[in-house]
């Protein structure tokens, strides 16, 4: 039986309140439900996944006329919850991972192609984080086609690929387009569209290889001191120190479970989310102390065995890389370290740089960082500024500038 937006919305609000959500969060749901009801009014107020996809693809604020990231998050989140109720008859309030949201194609042919791509990636054993990243770009292209009136990939041409990449510049930096290209190309190859793959290549998007700055000795000392002194919460200190001392990826910090911590042996043993390879790392005393303080004193009581969980109800695992980035950013701010885009990628580079400065062999650095291939570690050579300067040849006498 068809249900209206208002009917489903009442169920969602009731389930959210029963789950212990904050009233401010419930209020945000209610405002977004009202906006969705207004959008559905010309169609009798009846909800459908197609209507939801259309609603979720409206991130432009009518007040400012500009793209609103908050609006997009709210709309996509509500549509995902509504769709879960339509599909299963229950409200799924579980936190969604980065890249798992956004509008989905409503046309049967495009939706089937997306599902086949997801199944293919899962069948090849790709990690959830990798599948999410590749799936998000593929979905974006399919929705882009749908918005242009194209209901099947057979109707797509090379111009649509170039137009899609150009459309990303509204919210992507030009230097980030390489990542979209690298994730779109395998999908188009999977779909058997060699002509569209060739169109991607015509975009001539190149990967940039900037020399990424690292923390100075003084700034690193400030961060460690702030974590050790209690200037930041035990949770934020533990997250920051894990990234700073081990170079763990954000997805591995999020997936960390209590059983992965060997308190007596002072080690962490995980299976990496990105590569699927096992990894065991030493657990420095300061990191172990902050983890223990968080688990014993700050961590909410919950049956979930993930180490890091939400501080407010529902106490589910942190699901977004943004949670890790926020914890690290807060730590850097309270430590008085400014002008640094603090995140796990930056801190992985920082860890690699310090290992290189200590004359650590590349195979050892590769093992510590958990790379599937030692070739991946070579990208971190650019952070050793002193070694790079030693490779510069003198300008021959009489050479023109």
Candidates 1.10.443.10, 3.30.420.140, 1.10.260.40, 3.40.50.720; CATH matching 217-388 = 1.10.443.10
Output the DSSP codes for 218-278. Answer: HHHHHHHHHHHHTSS-HHHHHHHHHHHHH---HHHHHH-BGGGEETTTTEEEEE-TTT--E
In the predicted structure, residue 215 carries a pLDDT above the cut 50? yes
In the predicted structure, residue 382 carries a pLDDT above the cut 80? no
Write the pLDDT tens digit of every residue in 330-347.
999 999 998 877 778 888
The pLDDT of residue 99 is 44
User: Tokens 């590349």 — which residue?
Assistant: 362
In the predicted structure, residue 227 carries a pLDDT above the cut 60? yes
Domain boundaries, the chain: 5-88, 108-202, 217-388
In the predicted structure, residue 228 carries a pLDDT above the cut 90? yes
Rounded to an integer, the average pLDDT of 228-247 is 92
**Residue of 359 and 22 predicted with greater confidence:** 22
The tokens of 355 are what? 């290992």
The pLDDT of residue 377 is 57
Write the pLDDT tens digit of every residue in 64-113.
777 787 888 889 889 888 988 888 888 887 655 444 456 788 888 898 89
User: Tokens 């068809």 — which residue?
Assistant: 2
Whether cis (ω within 30° of 0) applies to the bond prior to 314 is yes
CATH T-level topology, domain 108-202: DNA polymerase; domain 1 (1.10.150)
Average pLDDT of the chain? 84
Do the Cβ atoms of 392 and 374 come closer than 8 Å? no
**Residue of 46 and 210 predicted with greater confidence:** 46
In the predicted structure, residue 23 carries a pLDDT above the cut 50? yes
Q: How confident is the model at residue 56 (pLDDT cuts 50, 70, 90)?
A: confident
The pLDDT of residue 240 is 94
């Amino acid at each position: 039986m068809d249900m209206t937006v208002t009917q489903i919305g009442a169920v969602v609000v009731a389930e959210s309140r029963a789950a212990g959500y904050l009233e401010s969060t419930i209020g945000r749901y209610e405002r977004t439900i009202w906006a969705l009801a207004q959008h559905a009014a010309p169609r009798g107020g009846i909800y459908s996944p197609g209507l939801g996809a259309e609603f979720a693809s409206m991130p432009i604020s009518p007040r400012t006329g500009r793209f609103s990231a908050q609006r997009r998050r709210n709309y996509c989140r509500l549509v995902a919850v509504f769709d879960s109720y339509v599909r299963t008859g229950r409200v799924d309030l579980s936190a969604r991972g980065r890249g798992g949201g956004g509008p989905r194609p409503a046309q049967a042919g495009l939706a089937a192609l997306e599902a086949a791509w997801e199944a293919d990636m899962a069948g090849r054993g790709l990690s959830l984080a990798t599948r999410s990243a590749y799936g998000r770009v593929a979905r974006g292209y399919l929705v882009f086609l749908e918005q242009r009136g194209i209901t099947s990939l057979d109707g797509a041409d090379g111009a649509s690929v170039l137009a899609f990449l150009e459309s990303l510049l509204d919210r992507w930096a030009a230097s980030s387009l390489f990542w979209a290209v690298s994730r779109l190309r395998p999908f188009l190859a999977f779909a058997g569209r060699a002509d569209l793959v060739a169109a991607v290549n015509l975009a001539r998007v190149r990967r940039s290889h900037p020399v990424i700055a690292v923390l100075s000795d003084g700034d690193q000392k400030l961060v460690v001191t702030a974590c050790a002194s209690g200037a930041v919460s035990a949770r934020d200190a533990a997250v920051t120190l894990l990234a700073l001392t081990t170079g763990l990826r954000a997805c591995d910090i999020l997936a960390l479970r209590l059983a992965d911590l060997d308190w007596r042996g002072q080690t962490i043993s995980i299976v990496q989310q990105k590569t699927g390879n096992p990894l065991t790392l030493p657990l420095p005393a300061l990191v172990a102390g902050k983890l223990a303080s968080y688990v014993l004193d700050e961590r909410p009581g919950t049956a979930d065995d993930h180490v890091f969980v939400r501080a407010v109800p529902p106490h589910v695992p942190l699901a977004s890389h943004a949670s890790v980035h926020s914890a690290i950013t807060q730590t850097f701010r309270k430590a008085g370290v400014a002008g640094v885009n603090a995140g796990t990628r930056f801190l992985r580079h920082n860890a690699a740089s310090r290992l290189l400065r200590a004359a650590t062999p590349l195979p050892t650095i590769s093992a510590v960082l958990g790379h599937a291939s030692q070739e991946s570690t070579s990208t971190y050579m650019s952070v050793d500024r002193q070694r790079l300067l030693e490779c510069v040849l003198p300008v021959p006498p009489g050479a023109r500038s």
